[in-house]
Every structure is written in structure tokens, then in C-alpha cells.
């Protein structure tokens, strides 16, 4: 992977500040320590930091076509590049490297924006077309890789990370209060929202085009779940299983394409265990695995990790981890993630990527995406129970209205009662923030396109929302890409493959949730690859020590950031309520009910860090 950034003059050519472009590019050096490159005209300035994975000597960027009229910078991998390369050579194109991303230049020449429908991979890229005087930005279908942008002074500024954009003195540093409200209310931020007012995230499956003095964004792909009335589930169960297994094996094999050492993160759960076992099946290479072992057994899965280590027999490294380790790295986690936190498992991924880097591993495979595609969360079982037993207590009319506004369905419950939680938030916010709450409250701006949920089976409806709201900009972004690339490690996700998704979308929902048993189809496949206890175990939510554990450690910076004086000065939260939370969380026997109870104090703490690290103003 890489880090990319750029400046585009939207209407009139102007001199590009090359010193500023260089500073923006070097801010991303952790994403690409091996090489940097630039392309500058009066219309655009591109910068890239490269993490060399395929064709180490020949894959430097920017890349151009044969006549030097199409120019590319790309962060990511194109997994079907070999097929595309053969096709393009057959059409007469001349390649200058073995790099996977060079296919983008030539495929763009052939198909323009239509190239996006041909790609299987994880990517965020920018293409400048000199003939059309246009710039195309695009982000992959699942949102594995981030891409942020803003428009100031008739200039588009974009980058893989927001910290590069903030270097431009024209960009104002200001908290997006709707982003803060969204972060508190949902699993994380949802594109295009960020924590920075005026800076947007390009949503997954979207492109942005600058042409003829204007900027437009559009969707080129979406999750292909069928309307329930149109669904045709005609195949036998064994055929669906065989198809999915074949596609998963192919996806794992494609994601092992690299000229550098690869490995895997092994949690001990079903998803990472299946991926690691398939790695053993498709490759003869010795690949290293890594796991986190928490000192508090409440957070640990040591027993299952040890079982899988013995099963796959790859070299393994265990990282012992505790609350003190979380406290030590939390400022770096916030700096790289560019967002406050509701959970600290980001810190665990940060530690895993540090271990991988120190052992010379540059590519790791993980199990993200399986829960969203195959009904892995407890909420899918709760939905099934409500459908079978009824909703129980009546839902307040105010909550039904909020659900209708957010999801287009008053009966769709996601995460928490938003009406009840609104009171919790308003108790946490300061008087100043509450006085403006009606202006920034997140539900009035929408989260997803509600029309996309109409007519879907309830399980597919939840899966669609999970992929948009939980996966793309949280698990894959601040908890995924950012924590991996902080240590120059590339993450690859075999479940997040177009072929795997298409196979899952064609399956009847009861292959994903059979009765109240989640991931039925994956368990059936996994039974042929992993020990039975792994294939059949209940999902264990991945969690890490939170604010109660940090309070017991009581490092000086935690005390300072949560003090009445600091919270009052910053102006975003109610200092009295924060002190009440501190008292409650500090009780010797207190424990948060993760994942069903939000760690509000952690949000306050990490928001304070966020303000400090990014030079954001007090309110």
C-alpha cells in the first residue's frame, strides 16, 4: 500500500506550491517508507509515498501511459491484475513494470471511468487525464482504503489521511459536531462525515471527478442484495457451500500475491482461523502468525489461539498486552486514526502491526467482513428472535420516528434506542453544545440511502447497514488501515472479495443464520479446515481494556484530560457529568457491558487527546 495526496486547481491553472505538496507527502511516510514520487503541472500536483509489495524495483509512482497523457497515483492492490494485464497486452498496451497498479493506467485509456467495474481489489487512486483536463479519484467497493478531500479557494485537496490536508494553511481546523454526535450514536463515523468540519471522506464504491470547472461525486457500485420479492434461491445447499469455499480459497490465494513476506493475525475466532487454515492449504510458504494475549482473562482468547497455532503450525508470535500498554500507545492511536475512540481494540491492532513490522512481515491477512456478510453479530439473532416472538414492549413513537428517518423502517432497531440515547448524549454535552444541538444532530442529515433498504430481507437489511455503518469507515479505517499502516503493514481481507460477496448475496438468508445459529455456512466450510471446537464456538466480541482500566492505572495525562478544569475549558462536554462518570467507572467492581454499553468516558478522554494532537480549538 501507499499514501497518496494531491492538489487540483478546479477552474484555472495556477502555480502549485511544491514545498507544501512535499510536506503533505512526507506526512504520509509511515504509509510508504520505501520511495516518494511527484507529478506537478499548473493544473494538478500529485504526491505519493510507496510501500513496496509487488515489483519492488519497478513499481515506483507516479505512473504514466505510453504517450505521457494519463498519470496515476494509487494506494492499494489490484488482485485481478494478471488477467487484466494479459488482456491489455493483447490490445497492444506496453507495460513498463510488473506492478499490479500499472493496469489502471492502461485500463483507463480503454474504458475511462468504466474501469471501476472491472476491478477486484482494495484501492484509492487519482488519475489525471491531460487530454480531457480531468481528474478522477476513486475508492474501492468495500472501503478498505481511505480517501479524504476538501475544497477551498477553488482548489480540491485530497489525501489518504486528513493530517496531510491540514498542512494547507487555507484549511480551517474545526470540529464537526455532527461527526461527534454520529460517533457517539453509531459504531463509528460514516462517509462522507469526518471529525473535521469541511473535510469529507469519499464513500466506498464512489468516484469523484474534477472536470470543466466543477466537482462531482457518484456511486459506481453497491452491495447487490436482491429485493426479497425478486430473490431466486434455486441452488442446493451443497452447491452454495462449494461455490463459497472455492471463492474463498481463490480470494486467499490472490491476497498472498506479494514479493515480500506475508502473515496473518490470529484471534482464535472462526474467521481468522478459517483464513489462516486456507493460507496453509493454498501455499507452501512458511508464513508467520500474530496474536494478542491480554493480561486480563476477561479480554483473552489464549486457549483458542494456542489451539490454532498448533493446528496450522506456522511460526507464531504472541504479544502480551494490558491496560498499561493501551495507555502508552493511545496518543499514537489517536494520531493515526484521526478520531476519538469508543473502544480500545484499535490499540491492539496497533500493537499487532508493530510486531509484524519488527518481524519483517509487510502483508497480513485477517478475517474482517465475515460478521457483516454471514450474520455474525448477536444483533442478527436478536432480529430473528423478535420476528419469531414479537417485539415485546411497545416502541415509543419518538423512537419509531427516528428509525424511520435513519433507516426508512420504524421496526428496524440498530445498536441502541436512539431516542433514549439522545438524553444520555445531551447529559454528556456542555450547555453550549446542547444549545446548538438542533443544528448538528446527526439523524437529520441521514446516514445511508434509505431507499436501498426497501424490500430487502431483514437479514440482508442489517448486513447492508453493517457494511456501510460499521465496517467501511470504522473497522476497516480507524481500527484497520490506520493501525496497520502506522507501522507500514498492509492488511488484506479475503472475505471482502467481490466474488465472495456475490456468492453470499445469492444465498438464502437461512444459510447465514440457521435458526439462531450465526455463520451457518462458514461453520460448515470451516469444519473441513479447523478444529471442531473452533468451528462451533460462539462468537467472542474482540475487546480490549477501556477507561475503567485506564483510570485504575491513573497516568498523569489521563488525570489531566479528564479533570474538571480541562473539560470545562475545552467546552464540548459537561464537566460535572464527566466527574460523575469518573466516580462510577472508578469503583473497584465496575465493569462496562461491552459491546452493549458505550464507554462514554473513553470518548471524552480520547476526544481531549484528539483536540490536542490536531490543534483543534476549544469551543
Residue 616 CA to its chain's centroid (Å): 24
Q: pTM value?
A: 0.96
First-to-last CA distance in the chain?
A: 37
CB 98 within 8 A of CB 59: yes
Separation between Cα atoms, residue 550 and residue 431, nearest integer Å: 27
The highest-confidence range among 170-184, 226-240, 299-313, by mean pLDDT, is 170-184
- Element at 6 (helix H, strand E): strand 2-9
Sequence ranges of the chain with CATH classification 3.40.50.620 = 223-544
62 cis-preceded (ω within 30 degrees of 0) = yes
Query: Exposure of 42 by Cβ count < 10 A (0-12 exposed, 13-18 middle, 19+ buried)?
Result: exposed
Render pLDDT for 181-220 as a digit per residue (tens, 0 to 9).
Answer: 999 999 999 999 999 999 999 999 999 999 999 999 999 9
In degrees rounded to 5, what are phi and psi of residue 217?
A: -120, 150
537 confidence band (pLDDT: 50, 70, 90): confident
- Per residue in 442-467, pLDDT (tens digit) is 999 999 999 999 999 999 999 999 99
Can you list the alpha helix ranges (DSSP code H) found in 531-574? 532-536, 547-553, 556-561, 564-570
The predicted structure's pLDDT at residue 536: 92
Report pLDDT for 5: 99
Positive or negative, the CA dihedral 163, 164, 168, 171 is negative
Cis bond upstream, residue 595 (ω within 30):
yes
Proportion of the chain above pLDDT 70, given as a percent? 98
Q: What pLDDT does residue 595 have?
A: 62
Write a three-state SS string for 69-135.
CEEEEEEEEECCHHHHHHHHHHCCCCCCCCCCCHHHHHHHHHHHHHHHHHCCEEEEEEEEECCCCEE
pLDDT at 335: 98
| Lowest-pLDDT choice from 9-13, 312-316, 591-595 | 591-595
Is pLDDT above 70 for 596? no
Tens-place pLDDT, residues 280-333: 999 989 999 999 988 776 666 788 999 999 999 999 999 998 889 999 999 999
265 is written with which cell numbers? 493475525
**Position 177 confidence tier, pLDDT thresholds 50, 70, 90:** very high
Q: Give the span between the Cα atoms of 278 and 248, in whole angstroms.
A: 8
Give residue 539's pLDDT: 76
11, 85 contact by CB (below 8 A): no
Beta pairing, strands 134-139 & 148-152: unpaired
The CATH fold assigned to 223-544 is Rossmann fold (3.40.50)
pLDDT of 594 reads: 65
Q: Looking at per-residue confidence, does 49 or 297 come out higher?
A: 49
CA dist., res. 552 & res. 540, Å (int): 25
pLDDT tens digits, 31-47: 999 999 999 999 999 99
In the prediction, which pLDDT does 230 show?
A: 78
> What per-residue confidence (pLDDT) applies to 555?
81
Over residues 91-144, the pLDDT tens digits come to 999 999 999 999 999 999 999 999 999 999 999 999 999 999 999 999 999 999
Query: Which of 470-488 are b and which e, b meaning 16 or more Cβ less than 10 Å from the residue's Cβ?
Result: bbbbbbbbbbbbbbbbbbb
Predicted confidence at residue 553, as pLDDT, reads 84
- The distance from CA 597 to its chain's CA centroid, rounded to whole angstroms, is 22
Give the contacts of 350 (CB within 8 A, at least 6 positions apart): 329, 332, 333, 336, 483, 486, 487
Return the C-alpha cell found at 30: 509511515
SS3 per-residue string spanning 373-421: HCCCCHHHHHHHHHHHHCCCCCCCHHHHHHHHHHHCCCCCCCCCCHHHH
Q: Which of 530, 543, 536, 531 is nearest to 595 (CA)?
A: 543
pLDDT band for 548, please (50, 70, 90 cuts).
confident
> Which of 99-108, 199-208, 263-272, 534-543 is predicted with the least confidence, judged by mean pLDDT?
534-543
495 neighbors 373 (Cβ within 8 angstroms): yes
Q: What is the mean pLDDT of residues 560-571?
A: 97
**What is the CATH superfamily name and number for domain 2-219?**
Aminohydrolase, N-terminal nucleophile (Ntn) domain (3.60.20.10)
Residues of the chain within CATH 3.60.20.10 domain(s) are 2-219
Question: Which helix (DSSP H) or strand (DSSP E) does residue 335 occupy?
Answer: helix 323-337
Q: What percent of the chain has pLDDT over 90?
A: 85
Q: How far apart are CA 496 and CA 144, in angstroms?
A: 9
For residue 342, give the C-alpha cell.
Answer: 469508543
Amino acid at each position: 500500500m501507499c499514501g497518496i495526496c494531491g492538489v487540483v486547481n478546479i477552474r484555472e491553472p495556477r502555480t502549485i506550491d511544491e514545498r507544501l505538496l512535499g510536506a503533505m507527502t512526507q506526512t504520509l511516510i509511515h504509509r510508504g517508507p520505501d520511495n516518494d514520487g511527484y507529478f506537478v503541472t499548473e493544473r494538478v500536483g500529485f504526491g505519493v509515498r510507496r510501500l513496496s509489495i509487488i515489483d519492488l524495483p519497478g513499481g515506483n509512482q507516479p505512473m504514466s501511459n505510453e504517450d505521457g497523457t494519463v498519470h496515476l497515483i494509487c494506494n492499494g492492490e489490484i488482485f485481478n491484475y494478471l488477467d487484466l494485464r494479459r488482456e491489455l497486452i493483447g490490445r497492444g498496451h506496453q507495460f513498463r513494470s510488473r506492478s499490479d497498479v500499472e493496469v489502471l493506467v492502461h485500463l483507463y485509456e480503454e474504458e475511462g471511468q468504466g474501469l471501476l467495474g472491472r476491478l477486484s481489489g482494495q484501492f484509492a487512486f487519482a488519475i489525471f487525464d491531460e487530454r480531457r483536463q480531468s481528474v478522477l479519484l476513486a475508492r474501492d467497493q468495500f472501503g478498505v482504503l481511505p480517501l479524504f478531500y476538501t475544497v477551498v479557494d477553488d482548489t480540491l485537496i485530497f489525501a489518504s489521511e486528513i493530517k496531510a490536508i491540514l498542512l494547507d494553511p487555507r484549511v480551517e481546523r474545526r470540529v464537526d459536531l455532527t461527526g461527534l454526535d454520529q460517533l457517539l450514536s453509531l459504531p463509528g463515523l460514516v462517509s462522507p462525515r469526518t471529525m473535521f468540519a469541511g473535510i469529507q471522506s469519499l464513500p466506498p464504491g464512489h468516484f469523484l471527478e474534477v472536470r470543466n470547472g466543477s466537482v462531482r461525486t457518484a456511486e459506481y457500485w453497491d452491495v447487490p442484495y436482491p429485493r426479497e420479492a425478486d430473490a431466486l434461491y434455486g441452488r442446493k445447499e451443497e452447491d452454495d457451500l462449494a461455490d463459497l469455499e472455492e471463492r474463498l480459497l481463490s480470494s486467499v490465494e490472490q491476497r498472498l500475491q506479494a514479493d515480500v513476506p506475508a502473515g496473518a493475525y490470529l484471534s482464535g475466532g472462526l474467521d481468522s482461523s478459517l483464513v489462516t487454515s486456507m493460507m496453509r492449504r493454498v501455499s507452501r510458504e512458511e508464513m508467520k502468525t500474530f496474536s494478542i494475549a491480554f493480561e486480563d482473562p476477561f479480554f483473552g482468547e489464549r486457549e483458542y489461539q494456542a489451539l490454532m497455532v498448533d493446528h496450522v503450525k506456522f511460526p507464531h508470535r504472541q504479544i502480551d498486552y494490558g491496560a498499561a500498554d493501551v495507555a502508552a500507545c493511545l496518543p499514537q492511536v489517536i494520531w493515526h486514526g484521526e478520531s476519538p475512540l469508543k473502544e480500545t481494540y484499535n490499540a491492539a491492532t496497533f500493537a499487532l502491526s508493530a510486531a509484524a513490522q519488527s518481524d519483517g512481515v509487510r502483508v497480513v491477512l485477517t478475517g474482517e467482513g465475515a460478521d457483516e456478510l454471514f450474520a455474525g453479530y448477536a444483533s442478527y439473532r436478536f432480529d430473528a428472535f423478535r420476528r419469531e416472538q414479537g417485539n415485546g414492549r411497545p416502541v415509543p413513537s419518538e423512537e419509531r420516528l427516528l428509525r424511520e428517518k435513519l433507516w426508512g423502517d420504524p421496526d428496524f432497531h440498530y445498536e441502541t434506542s436512539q431516542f433514549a440515547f439522545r438524553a444520555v448524549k445531551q447529559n454528556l454535552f456542555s450547555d453550549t453544545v446542547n444549545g446548538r444541538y438542533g443544528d448538528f444532530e446527526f439523524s437529520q442529515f441521514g446516514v445511508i440511502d434509505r431507499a436501498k433498504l426497501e424490500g430487502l430481507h431483514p437479514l440482508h437489511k442489517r448486513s447492508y447497514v453493517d457494511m456501510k455503518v460499521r465496517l467501511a469507515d470504522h473497522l476497516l479505517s480507524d481500527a484497520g488501515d490506520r493501525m496497520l499502516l502506522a507501522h507500514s503493514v498492509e492488511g488484506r481481507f479475503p472475505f471482502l472479495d467481490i466474488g465472495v460477496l456475490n456468492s453470499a448475496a445469492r444465498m438464502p438468508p437461512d444459510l447465514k443464520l440457521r435458526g439462531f445459529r450465526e455463520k451457518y455456512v462458514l461453520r460448515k466450510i470451516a469444519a473441513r479446515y479447523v478444529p471442531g471446537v473452533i468451528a462451533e464456538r460462539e462468537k467472542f466480541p474482540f475487546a480490549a481494556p477501556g477507561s475503567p482500566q485506564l483510570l485504575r492505572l491513573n497516568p498523569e495525562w489521563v488525570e489531566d484530560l479528564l479533570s474538571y478544569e480541562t473539560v470545562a475549558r475545552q467546552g464540548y462536554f459537561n464537566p460535572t457529568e464527566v466527574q460523575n462518570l469518573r466516580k462510577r467507572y472508578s469503583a473497584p467492581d465496575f465493569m462496562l457491558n461491552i459491546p452493549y454499553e458505550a464507554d462514554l468516558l473513553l470518548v471524552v478522554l480520547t476526544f481531549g487527546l484528539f483536540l490536542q494532537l490536531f490543534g483543534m480549538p476549544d469551543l
